[in-house]
Structure 1
C-alpha cells in the first residue's frame, strides 16, 4: 500500500468525527465540523450527507471521537479514503453492532463487534491507532479492535484524504459486506484529526435532530410509505392481521389504506384530532372508535373482519363479509398497495392529501414487524424514531 497503515488507521478510521451543538455552525452548502447532523436527511441514500478533502500533510492527530444516537439497526456512519478511492475505510452499523470494512491494496477486511448501539441513547465513540491495531472504544471501553500487518516497507505519507459522513464515495459493489446505508440517527460533539475547515454539504439546508426521541416511525404530515400486499401473502385458510401501537389521541390523518389499482378503496384507518375519533373504513361501511386506545389490531378473514382495541375481548367488534365480498377481497389483496401515512387515490400508487401526522410506535403485518426502510417512502418519514 502506498500509504502507511498508521494513516489508514488514523486518517481513515478517525477522520470523520466531529460535531457540536445542535443546528450550529453551518450555512447553505457548507457545514462546520462542530455541527449536529441528522444522517437520514433526504438525498441519494448512498451519497454522503457531508464530505471534505484534505492534504495528508495537514493531519496532526490520529485520534478522534464523536457521539452517535439511533434506534436504527443499520446504516453508514462515515467513510474515508486515500489514492482517490483505491484504499478506503467504512464504519457502519449492522444489526445495531459496529461494522468496520477496510480495503488496503489487494486485501478486504471486515470486522464486526462491540455492544449494540441502537438503543436511542447518546454513545461516545473514540477511534485511535495503537501500533498495528485500530481500536474503537464505546463509552470508554474497548468495543472493537482490528489489526493488520504489512510485510513490505510503508511509503511516505503523501496525497489527499477524502472524508464523508453518512454515505460512500466509492461504488457500493466494492463492499465486502453489504448493508442498507440510510440511517435514522444523529451524530454530534466530535473532535476529529484537529481539522477545522468547513465541509461540503450535499443539501443546502440541514435537517435538525430532535432533542428527545422514542422508538417508532414518525410521519410529519408530508408523505407516506407504500408496500405491495404481495409481500404479505395469505396462506390458505388464513386472513390478514395488521397491528398498530401508539397514542392514537395524538394522531391526525390517514394511518393506513389498502387499494388495488383500478378498484375502489378496500380499507382505510383514519384518525381525527377534531372529532377525537379513529374511523375504520371498509368498502362502503365505516366504524368509529374513541381515540383513547394505544393498540389496535385489525384481522381480515375470509368471512369476518375483527377490530380489537388494546387486546381486549370486550372491545372487539366483528363485521361479517358477504360471499361476494370474500371473493373480491381475496383477488384484490394479491395485487393491492398498502400505504402507511396516506390515503391511496385513483391511480396506482397515487396518494391523496390526507397525510398522517403522528408516531406509529410499532407496525406489524402478518405478525411481522414492519421496517419502513424497505418501503417506497417519502424521505420526511423517520423510520425508527419519533420526537418524544
Structure 2
C-alpha cells in the first residue's frame, strides 16, 4: 500500500499544497515559536504534519519523577498508527506504543536489547479506551480498561545503571529514526487522546503546530470531506485484467453529500461522479456523456470495461440494480487508465498540473477499488480530510 504515496508526482503534490487552503492560527505561545498544551488536553493525532513527527512533546528531568506510570484515553477507528513515545539519553533507550491491525504493539530498546510484542483486543472500535503504561522493575506493563493488555519483561547482562538526565515524551510520532524499529507500520493515525496523566506531573507539553485541531464529540466509521480538499492516488497501482475491467465501490448516504465524490483523469475520457444536495441525485459524466441518477441505497458500484461503463446500486450482495450503461467510444481506454490519477472528494483539473475544485462535503463510509479498501492515509491528501472517522 505504501506505493500509493510514492506513485504521486512531486509536481502534483506541490500544486495540491499551494492550491488548497490550510487553517488559521491560535494558541498560547511560549516565546520560542511553540505553543504550550496541557497534558490532559484532548488531542487529535491525525493533524497534518510530517507523519513521523510528534504532534505534542515534552521533556522532564528524571530527578523529578517518582513513579514511571502514565495513563490516557484513546478513541479511534484507524487500525494503524503511532500513539505514544518515550526515551532517555536523547533517544539511546526508547519505547514506542502503536496500533497495527487494531492491536496494541509495543517496541522497546534498552541496554542493547530490542523487544517487540503485540497482543490484546483490537482497540479501533470507535470507543474510548483507558490505557495505562507503567514500569514495574524488569517489566513494562500496558493495561487496557483496567486489565493487563501486554506485559513485557526485559533483562540485560549489563549491570543496572542509575538513570539521570532527561526523559522525553511524545504523542503521535517518534523522535528516533523509524528504521530502528523491528516492526514497521504506517505512522499517521486518525485518533483522539484525552485525559492524559503523565508520570503524575503537571508539566506543559509543546507543539510546533500553530493550533491543535479539535476532536468530534461523536464519530462513526468513514472518511469525512469538509468541502475543502481531496485525496489523490495514482491509477497505476490498481492491478486489473483488461477483460474484467476496473471496479470502484462507494458506500454512504449520497443524498447528504454535495460536490465531487470521485474523479478519474487519464489520457482518455475524464470520469466524474458528482452529488447534488439540492436535487438529491448524482451525475455520472464520462467524456461528453452525462447522466443524472437517483441513488436510493447506500452502495454504488462503477465498473469500467473495454466497451462500456456500468453503474450499479446494491441493496445487498444478492440484489443489484443497474442504474446506467454508457457505451465507450474510446476502445483503448483501459490501457490509458494505468497512466492517470484517481481523486476521492474533488475534481482533478484539465491541465497537467492543475488541481480542480468542487470539493465534496460529506461522509463516505467506505471506498474500495478492485476489491481493496482504500486507506486515505496512503494518498496525497488535504489536511482537512479525515481518513477513518466522520462526525456522527
- Report the TM-score when normalising by structure 1: 0.89
Shift of 1:234: 2.5
What is the distance in 2 between the residues matched to 1:179 and 1:274? 42
Aligned counterpart, 1:166 = 172
Aligned counterpart, 2:294 = 290
**Alignment match of 1:273 (pick from 273, 277, 280):** 277
What is the distance in 2 between the residues matched to 1:287 and 1:310? 19
CA contact (8 A) 2:225 2:386 kept: yes
What is the distance in 1 between the residues matched to 2:248 and 2:315? 13
Aligned counterpart, 2:140 = 134
1:109-258 maps to which residues of 2 (within 5 A)?
109-258=115-264
What is the distance in 1 between the residues matched to 2:107 and 2:353? 38
Shift of 1:330: 2.0
Residue by residue, what CA displacement relative to the aligned partner does 1:250-269 show, whole Å, maximum 9, x if unpaired?
11100010112xx4652100
CA contact (8 A) 2:242 2:334 kept: no
Aligned counterpart, 2:331 = 326
Shift of 1:158: 1.0
Quote the RMSD (CA, aligned, Å): 1.6
1:378 aligned onto 2:379: no
Note the residue ranges of structure 2 that are not aligned, 5 or more in a row: 1-26, 30-34
Select between 365-374 and 44-53 the one with higher mean Cα deviation: 365-374
3-state SS in 1 of match to 2:270? strand
CA contact (8 A) 1:48 1:202 kept: no
Change (3 A) 1:311 1:350: farther
CA contact (8 A) 1:230 1:334 kept: yes
Aligned counterpart, 2:79 = 73
Residue by residue, what CA displacement relative to the aligned partner does 1:287-316 show, whole Å, maximum 9, x if unpaired?
112254311111121122221123486731
What is the distance in 2 between the residues matched to 1:368 and 1:180? 17
Aligned counterpart, 1:339 = 343
Aligned counterpart, 1:86 = 92
Aligned counterpart, 2:32 = none
**Alignment match of 1:58 (pick from 60, 64, 73):** 64
CA contact (8 A) 1:99 1:110 kept: yes
CA contact (8 A) 1:137 1:144 kept: yes
What is the distance in 1 between the residues matched to 2:75 and 2:292? 39
What is the distance in 2 between the residues matched to 1:119 and 1:349? 39
Change (3 A) 1:152 1:317: closer
CA contact (8 A) 1:221 1:356 kept: yes
Change (3 A) 1:346 1:320: closer
Aligned counterpart, 2:3 = none
Aligned counterpart, 2:105 = 99
What is the distance in 2 between the residues matched to 1:264 and 1:176? 44
Change (3 A) 1:105 1:130: closer
Which 4+ runs in 1 deviate beyond 6 A? none
CA contact (8 A) 1:265 1:344 kept: no
Shift of 1:348: 3.3
CA contact (8 A) 2:140 2:151 kept: yes
What is the distance in 2 between the residues matched to 1:265 and 1:224? 21
Select between 147-156 and 176-185 the one with higher mean Cα deviation: 147-156
Shift of 1:320: 4.7
What is the distance in 1 between the residues matched to 2:43 and 2:164? 30
What is the distance in 2 between the residues matched to 1:128 and 1:161? 14
